[in-house]
Structure 1
């Protein structure tokens, strides 16, 4: 009971912090049309003299649930980033760590958002670092508060993962990389169950950073392209199609190498990557 109370207190404190951060938006000038006409110049000047409506902008700060909301949020944060880069960076990092630490689905949309706001290089670095740090926080929270509850809720999955970890102790790091490239269990469950099955935190940390790099790369590049598209026709241009092909090749190469290594060294069922073979074995 004490562990549950402690976890609830941590979630409440983190939620309060994130909510407070989203409320105190910095003051910025109102957005104007790029080329106002002569007739609208007087109206635009009058509007610019009015104080910005921070409450309206704050109401748009929420976790995106689809691509349309993602584009609106990216546009808003790009506008704020021009004058308040530190605030946007802090807000993004806080929101990402909140989702990742508490195993809340939707990190893929935040990875796409990173590419749209921060660009391909800074966005990829942010996505990789935040994914790794957030997953490690989830690992530590599970170790401190959730062991008993996770075992009670998912006994078969924990037992299956425990057996696989024991079978691959001699090449545990490559086994963890394999799980990230070809998940036999969701990433959020692996983050929570890792301390229960005695995976060292150093192996866990490095495997998350390296193993999710291709996935983060694809998401960030998608965000970069979405921020540059003006219409769906642009997506089917030869330049975009070749760019998508290059992204796919870069992302698939590490997975192909890990898969080839796994066939020789790792002890896995043939149907293990999608989890079906493992579930039948447990039953």
Structure 2
């Protein structure tokens, strides 16, 4: 009971902090007037936009349309309030990752749209790793009994696989990130239960999710640059997508080649999914 109360207190505190941070939204920066003949119309439009930027629009995106609107809003604030936007983005990302809330892919795309390909990838990779580690620590402190009760079969299977691959545990964890036998959120929560060292866990998250973060961030960069379908299906964009796919698939191919020789998985691939191989 004490662990449940502690977890509720942590969630409530983090939620209150994030809500308070969204309330203290700085005043919107003034947009430069467009070089149009009707200056009065432009000034009226700018003042109206500035007064109608409610803080309620700062919410987690649930689809690409909301994601694009949020990216435009944060880009608008970033010009004069870079520190606030960075703090808000990092806080929201760590909140979702720490409490295993789905939707981190949208925030990775948002990182690319706001911060660009290099800073966005660095931010996404660091925040993914730190947030997953916080989830690991929260599970270790509060959630062990509940996770075992809710997912006894999955925990037992993962514990058996970890025991069988102790001699190459880091590569086994990398394999799980590239070709997940279980969802990432479950692996984050169950890792302390099956005695995965936090150092191995930290390294496997940072390295293993790099290709995924890279694809999402590059998608965000293209989303911020594409203005029409013609731009999306240009030869430049298609070649860029091909290069992104090749770079993202290469680490997974190397890990899979190693796993076939060293790891004890007892799994088989069916239509790209990893499933347990049934013993006859």
User: Quick one: structure 1 residues 249 and 76, their matched pair in 2 at CA, closer, same or farther if it must change by over 3 Å?
Assistant: same
Q: Distance in 1 between matches of 2:174 and 2:204?
A: 5
Under a length normalisation based on structure 1, what TM-score does the superposition of the two structures give?
0.93
Retained in 1: the 8 A contact 2:34–2:42? no
The offset of 1:33, in angstroms, is 5.9
- The match for 1:65 among 52, 62, 67 is 62
Other structure's SS at 1:184 match: coil
Other structure's SS at 2:29 match: coil
Under a length normalisation based on structure 2, what TM-score does the superposition of the two structures give?
0.94
The question of 1:268 aligning with 2:265 is answered yes
The offset of 1:49, in angstroms, is 6.6
Q: Distance in 2 between matches of 1:114 and 1:185?
A: 26
Retained in 2: the 8 A contact 1:97–1:133? yes
Q: RMSD across aligned C-alpha pairs, in angstroms? A: 1.8
Q: Distance in 2 between matches of 1:254 and 1:31?
A: 44
Tell me which residue corresponds to 1:44. 42
**Any idea what the Cα deviations from partners look like across 1:201-237, whole Å, max 9, x if unmatched?**
0000000000000000000000000000001221111
Other structure's SS at 1:271 match: strand
User: Quick one: structure 1 residues 113 and 46, their matched pair in 2 at CA, closer, same or farther if it must change by over 3 Å?
Assistant: closer
Mapping of 1:73-112 within 5 angstroms? 73-112=70-109
Other structure's SS at 2:276 match: helix
Aligned length: 277
Q: Distance in 1 between matches of 2:140 and 2:73?
A: 37
Mapping of 1:24-43 within 5 angstroms? 24-31=24-31, 34-35=34-35, 37-39=36-38, 41-43=39-41
Mapping of 1:190-229 within 5 angstroms? 190-229=187-226
- The match for 2:151 among 154, 160, 171 is 154
Unaligned runs of 5+ in 2: none
Unaligned runs of 5+ in 1: none
